[in-house]
Amino acid sequence: MYRSHTCGELRQEHAGQEVTLAGWVHRRRDHGPLIFVDLRDRYGITQVVFDSASPEVHAVAEESRSEYVIQIRGLVRSRPPEAHNPDLSTGDVEVVALSASVLNPARTTPFYIAKEGGEEESLRLKYRYLDLRRERMQRNMILRHRVVKFMRDFLDAQGFLEIETPILIKSTPEGARDYLVPSRVHPGEFYALPQSPQQLKQLLMVAGYDKYFQVARCFRDEDLRADRQPEFTQLDMEMSFVEQEDVIHLTEQLFTELCAAVVPHKRVPTPFRRLTYAEAMERYGSDKPDLRYDLELVNLGDLLASTPFNVFKGALESGGQVKGLRAPGCAGYSRKQIDELTDIARGSGVKGLAWAAIPADGGDVRSSFAKFLGEGELQAIIARLEGQPGDLLLIVADRPGLVATTLDKLRREIAERLKLADPNVLNFSWVVDFPLLEWNPDENRWDAVHHPFTAPQDEDLPLMTSDPGKVRAKAYDVVLNGYEVGGGSIRIHRRDVQQQLFDLLGISQETALSQFGHMLEAFEYGAPPHGGIAPGIDRIVMLLADESTIREVMAFPKTQQAADLMTNAPSEVDERQLRDLHIRLAK
RNA sequence: GGGCCCGUAGUCUAGCGGUUAUGAUGCCACCCUGUCACGGUGGAGAUCGCGGGUUCGAAUCCCGUCGGGCCCGCCA
């Protein structure tokens, strides 16, 4: 045994005991004949005292440097009354070294372990094993463990079974780009890594495992973002004999109890608010709005039906929208600040941003567009937006999609500037009634918004033939503080409905059979009604940890170019390996 | 595929056409018996990401390239 205790556990009551500790040298305070070493492991820090009265022991402390791994045997004693350290959990005691040895020396680390912050993230990623020693990453890894442990315990208590599904599976064309794995045994053929275990969990329902879950690694070969990595982890769940309401209820209970258990200092409003997709887009311009603050978008189109202002008029005449957003107390924004907002708007693709500032002192409204408006229109706009003295009004006119994207971005920007989002609130909500299909003008067919096994809502079934774009799906997303943290649906279990959907998606009999034959066949052997959801663990932990990227809650994440800076993956491989796989590289 | 931002000792950072390239911290040596971001004295440490160009002169300006970040597209 290298140690009798960890560096986080000694207390006043251990005084007088002889203990053995092992850990890393966190800091060393060398007073010559007296040296203090803060010994660190993942449990905490304990102060060890080396006195020159024992020269051999003292010599070990003298040669030790930061991050040396050392072992000491010593006597726990109460610190002198004036020397207690309230910042350490072990701060009432110290260990007087009786013997000591260096288990392994350490080079000077490329960044401080003891003091965090400031370094380029790429440096932290290159030396991730050092970064992981630090408190921030340790806290995040521990939180992540607790989250996953809670999920497992919760679902186990609810009667769920955790079942593993393969990582090497069949590639299917729709959805995200697959990561492919060449087969050595079958020249020219490939496996895909799962984008999610979607089909497999549905087959488990056919098999009668009516409550399934898995902490499932998922792979998508798409471009990265702060909240998107090429591999990520979902709490994949599926249940038989459930309706949408059952899945929502269970998930809500899971999240509520999870947060109470692991982040008790945060407030979770319950029940979770519910928005339809149409309502979310209308009021927030987003299907994942941050509901910690209001700042709702307001439609102005009807007020401007006969406006002479060409920008508004043109947008409305071509089927677009004019919508606005009230930025409370921002009337004093400088030209520069307004230009920044305009740049943000342009960045989403609109041509410009119309604005009006209502001075707090009751003076004349400053505005970029009032002079182009008709009689009374400015007053009508201000009234509709409920503009008060001191407010800045932001207005966008364009195609509905662009108006939504732009005002969503401006809404988040204003909230950020005004610090409207309470960091200690976890505002979960449900977005429901997603459309089942969206028109794909490039391919001249319908695409599944969720996936091709998502069930349409019963009362919309007649629309499948008459107006497919209006069909709502039994699909639901759970949204947290502006992030989609989970999505799911009730699946189609009727063969005729499935066929109808394939027809709309332009999937031929032959394609359906070759791509989904196993599913269709399975569903002919008694498929129970079923549905599920897949919360994204990385994003949830990120939000619980108050981090702004999921990289901070992953042990070994990849860069935006999908590279691992520590191992230098991806990398070239031997000619021999390629030959085994029957692969020749295109020059 | 596109837009924007960043790259200077181990680390963070100042400098933005002429400096001996700034400071902090870390590192090394010596001194110090109650520190806990210990303190004190001294020292070493930088092909200014890389390549090319403009210029009498480039860390500084221009072009390219590499790496990193944020975003758009993409992400059933």
User: How much is the pLDDT for A301?
Assistant: 92
Asked if residue A36 keeps its beta carbon closer than 7 A to nucleic acid strand B, the reply is yes
User: How much is the pLDDT for A587?
Assistant: 64
Asked if residue A346 keeps its beta carbon closer than 7 A to nucleic acid strand B, the reply is no
Asked if residue A110 keeps its beta carbon closer than 7 A to nucleic acid strand B, the reply is yes
Asked if residue A32 keeps its beta carbon closer than 7 A to nucleic acid strand B, the reply is yes
Asked if residue A226 keeps its beta carbon closer than 7 A to nucleic acid strand B, the reply is yes
Which residue matches tokens 């309706």?
A243
- State the DSSP H helix or E strand holding residue A199, giving kind and residue range, or none if neither: helix A198-206
Asked if residue A86 keeps its beta carbon closer than 7 A to nucleic acid strand B, the reply is no
Strand partners, A477: A431, A487
As a rounded value in angstroms, the CA-to-C1' distance for A289 and B72 is 19
Q: What letter represents residue A205's amino acid? A: M
Q: What's the rounded Cα separation, in Å, for the pair A332 and A329?
A: 7
Asked if residue A117 keeps its beta carbon closer than 7 A to nucleic acid strand B, the reply is no
Shortest-distance nucleotide from A52 CA to C1': B33
Asked if residue A192 keeps its beta carbon closer than 7 A to nucleic acid strand B, the reply is no
Who wins on pLDDT, A439 or A194?
Answer: A194
Q: How far from each other are the two terminal CA atoms of chain A, in whole angstroms? A: 56
| CA atoms A455, A458, A459, A464: torsion sign | positive
- Is the pLDDT at A517 greater than 80? The verdict is yes
User: How much is the pLDDT for A577?
Assistant: 96
- A362 burial (CB, 10 Å; 0-12 / 13-18 / 19+) is exposed
Shortest-distance nucleotide from A88 CA to C1': B36
Answer whether A136's CB lies under 8 Å from A189's CB.
no
Q: What's the rounded Cα separation, in Å, for the pair A471 and A542?
A: 34
What are the distances in angstroms from CA A60 to CA A69, A104, A260?
11, 12, 46
A413-457: per-residue pLDDT in tens? 999 889 999 999 999 999 999 999 988 877 788 889 999 999 999
Asked if residue A567 keeps its beta carbon closer than 7 A to nucleic acid strand B, the reply is no
A49-104: per-residue pLDDT in tens? 999 999 999 999 999 999 999 999 999 999 999 999 999 999 999 999 999 999 99
Q: What ipTM, to 2 d.p.?
A: 0.94
- Predicted TM-score of the model (pTM): 0.95
Q: What's the rounded Cα separation, in Å, for the pair A518 and A202?
A: 11
What are the distances in angstroms from CA A493 to CA A91, A241, A301, A523?
62, 11, 43, 7
- Is the pLDDT at A174 greater than 80? The verdict is no
- A66 burial (CB, 10 Å; 0-12 / 13-18 / 19+) is middle
As a rounded value in angstroms, the CA-to-C1' distance for A431 and B14 is 50
Shortest-distance nucleotide from A85 CA to C1': B36
- Is the pLDDT at A106 greater than 90? The verdict is yes
Asked if residue A451 keeps its beta carbon closer than 7 A to nucleic acid strand B, the reply is yes
As a rounded value in angstroms, the CA-to-C1' distance for A123 and B2 is 27
As a rounded value in angstroms, the CA-to-C1' distance for A524 and B39 is 80
A8-63: per-residue pLDDT in tens? 999 999 999 999 999 999 999 999 999 999 999 999 999 999 999 999 999 999 99
Give residue numbers, 405 to 424 of A, with CB < 7 Å from strand B: 405
Q: What letter represents residue A371's amino acid? A: K
Give residue numbers, 132 to 191 of A, with CB < 7 Å from strand B: 174-177
Q: What's the rounded Cα separation, in Å, for the pair A584 and A587?
A: 9
As a rounded value in angstroms, the CA-to-C1' distance for A551 and B27 is 30
As a rounded value in angstroms, the CA-to-C1' distance for A137 and B71 is 26
As a rounded value in angstroms, the CA-to-C1' distance for A426 and B71 is 25
Confidence of residue A339 (pLDDT cuts 50, 70, 90): confident
Interaxial angle between packed helices A400-417 and A335-347, expressed in degrees from 0 to 180 and rounded to the nearest 10: 140
Q: In sequence order, what E strands does A189-311 have?
A: 190-192, 211-219, 231-240, 273-276, 298-299
Q: What's the rounded Cα separation, in Å, for the pair A187 and A283?
A: 53
3-state secondary structure (DSSP) of residue A295 = coil
Q: What's the rounded Cα separation, in Å, for the pair A578 and A182?
A: 10
As a rounded value in angstroms, the CA-to-C1' distance for A226 and B65 is 26
Percent of chain A with pLDDT over 70: 100
Residue A385 neighbours by CB under 8 Å, 6+ apart? A298, A300, A324, A325, A326, A391, A393
Mean pLDDT over each residue of chain A, to the nearest integer: 94
Answer whether A454's CB lies under 8 Å from A438's CB.
no
Return positions of chain B under 7 A from a protein CB: 1, 3, 10-13, 25-28, 31-39, 67-76
State CA A431 to chain mean position distance. 17
As a rounded value in angstroms, the CA-to-C1' distance for A120 and B56 is 38
Give residue numbers, 253 to 282 of A, with CB < 7 Å from strand B: none
